Amino acid sequence: MRKIVFAVLLFHAVFITACKKGSDPAPLSPAQDFSINSWDVDGITNQTDNKGTSVNPGIRLYFPVAIDRASVASAIALHTAGYNLNYQNDDSILVIQPKSALSYLSNYMLTVNNTLKSKSGGKLIFPVEIKLQTRYDPSYKFPVISDSALLDKIQQQTFKYFWDFGHPVSGLARERSNGNNDVVTSGGTGFGIMAIPVAVSRNFITRADGLARMQKIVGFLKNTAVKVKGAFPHWLNGTTGAIIPFSANDDGADLVETSYLMAGLLTARQYFNGTDAEETALRNDINDLWNGVEWDWFRNSGQNVLYWHYSDTKQWIMNFPIQGWNECLITYILAASSTTHGIPPSVYTNGWASGASFLNGNTFYGYQLPLGPSLGGPLFFSHYSFLGINPNELTDAYANYTTQTTSHSLINYEYCKANPRKWYGYSDSCWGLTASDIQDGYTASSPTNDVGVIAPTAAISSLPYTPVESMKALKFFYYVLGDKIWKDYGFVDAFSLHDLWFANSFLAIDQGPQIVMIENYRSGLLWNLLMSCPEVKTGLKSLGFSAPGL
């Protein structure tokens, strides 16, 4: 048996050897499948999600083998755009260029699937997907005008939110442009009221028209709007004046929102100072509203702190003391300024100034921050209280408020410029983190809560503190991004160049500070008006503040 097997094997060996003699060269070894070595887009290597890509990107694919040219057309696609192709390094490098310039701020996808073959017949093992998001168009979208004319334009267009879009029955400011149009906001209305003297002084409206709108607003607040201990809720129904709960337990007074409203009303009282019957009656009605707020009630049985909320049905269930550094300094100042329901200095010292995040003193990006959380928090901390309270040369036992507001703004600016989270679009021209709409929600953006969203109100409302940096941002928003974010009521609430998202909303609390703080930068009008109130001067002095003119 062994002899038979040996004979068969010998026959096969001889047969194979004979066949080789005089035949073609031996075939190549079996083809090996392969993977892509690397790629680069505009010189950036191996990034699957490319942000800020040029509109004529150079894309190179590097392979360990020579590629079969016949397999490329069906295996490589630049979706929604055609491409030209060059081969380098014996066909192991593929250079891809779009046939024509891509669109700005658009998404594309380069795919390489596993039908790609090598010249030896091997196949690509792993498909590749490379996302391309093109950069913004740097060209100016509108003609260049003087800085003064540009500030006029932004103030006037933004004022339309309060004037044209104001609630037709009450005159109050609607909460937002993309919500229930019967929901009006007390705090946002205060900001909108402050914008009326600006509009009159800039000749956007007449004084008579401004007075008529104030009469409508004040009449509604006095005679129709529901009040709790003289204070107003966060939201009201603009037609009926009924409370609209802000949350399940927040169905009563909101003292902070009330303070923004009262700051606006006192500002208007000082502006409409005519001796005629109509302006005199307006001031008297404002005084009735102002004197009716029971600030001391919100001490909750005489505690040395103010509480944010109170409800007739749920009393103090929210249990939220107003303390630490945030947007609420104005609440304590006005509570101390009240001649009917004032608070003693101990409430300021032991309440407001006792919070865990009140004192800071650390240095960030070279700027010392006297108060507040790490890196300053959202920029509205330096806006809302200072729409009417002038921080320049204002001091108390805890801070120099020129330093506080300026450092806070510059820290926010430097953070965005440094861009540690690498969001596309952040720069020294595109900065500003504060509370705003975001994709599918709302958040208080800050250097410690940075989701890649810029709110124009942040940099623009910081204009008095950072005039050079804010003006640069303002021009970028208008001239460069204006085709995306400049709309009927000014700049949209927020945007992300990283995620190609642009809000379709405008919010009262974000539009109002832009008008007011631009004006404070230009003329100091609102600072001069509120700081001229005798009650406010007395309140500031009682809390230990000092400033020129107090």
Give CA–CA dist 460/100, Å, rounded.
37
Which of 91, 106, 134 is a domain's end point?
Answer: 134
What CATH number did the domain enclosing 408 receive?
1.50.10.140
Please tell me whether residues 321 and 201 are part of one structural domain: yes
395, 505: one domain: yes
* DSSP assigned state of 11: H
pLDDT of the residue at 356: 86
In this structure, the answer to whether residues 121 and 167 fall within a common structural domain is no
What tokens appear for 473 in the block? Answer: 């941002």
Determine the Cα–Cα distance for residues 175 and 185; give it in Å rounded to an integer.
5
Q: Is residue 4 part of a domain?
A: no
Closest CA to 331 of 315, 308, 355, 354: 308
> What's the pLDDT score for residue 49?
97
Last residue of a domain, one of 107, 134, 161: 134
Q: For residue 68, what are the CA distances in angstroms to 56, 96, 117, 253, 327?
A: 26, 16, 6, 74, 65
Are 185 and 256 spatial neighbours (Cβ–Cβ below 8 Å)?
no
Domain that holds residue 53: 38-134
Token digits for 234?
């966060």
Coil, helix or strand at residue 280: helix
DSSP 8-state class, residue 176: B
Residues in the chain where the model's pLDDT stays below 70: 1-29
CA distance 329 to 262: 13
Burial code (b: 16+ CB inside 10 Å, e: under 16) for 166-189 equals: bbebbbbbbbbbeeeebbbbbbbb
Residue 165 and residue 45 share a domain: no
- Choosing from 91, 112, 134, the residue where a domain stops is 134
Give which of 393, 358, 366, 378 is closest to 464, Cα–Cα.
393
Domain count, the chain: 2
Whether 525 is in a domain gets the answer yes
pLDDT recorded at residue 513? 99
DSSP label of 34: B
Q: 327 and 336 in contact (C-beta within 8 Å)?
A: no
| DSSP for 347-389, written as a single string | HHHHTGGGSTTSB---EETTEE--BSSGGG--GGGGTGGGTTS
Residue with token string 């005489």 = 302
Residue 233 in tokens:
């809720």
Provide the 8-state DSSP code for 485.
H
- Total H helices, total E strands in the chain: 16, 22
In which residue are the tokens 């994709």 written? 439
Are 86 and 155 contained in the same domain? no
Q: What is the pLDDT of residue 19?
A: 34
- Considering the domain architecture, whether residues 385 and 491 belong to the same structural domain is answered as yes
Domain co-membership, 457 together with 321: yes
Which one, of 126, 114, 115, 217, lies nearest residue 166 by Cα?
A: 217
Distance CA(433)–CA(453), nearest Å, equals 7
- Please tell me whether residues 118 and 178 are part of one structural domain: no
Which pLDDT does position 540 carry in this prediction? Answer: 98
DSSP state of 135: P
DSSP strands (E only) in 76-171: 76-79, 83-88, 93-98, 107-112, 128-134
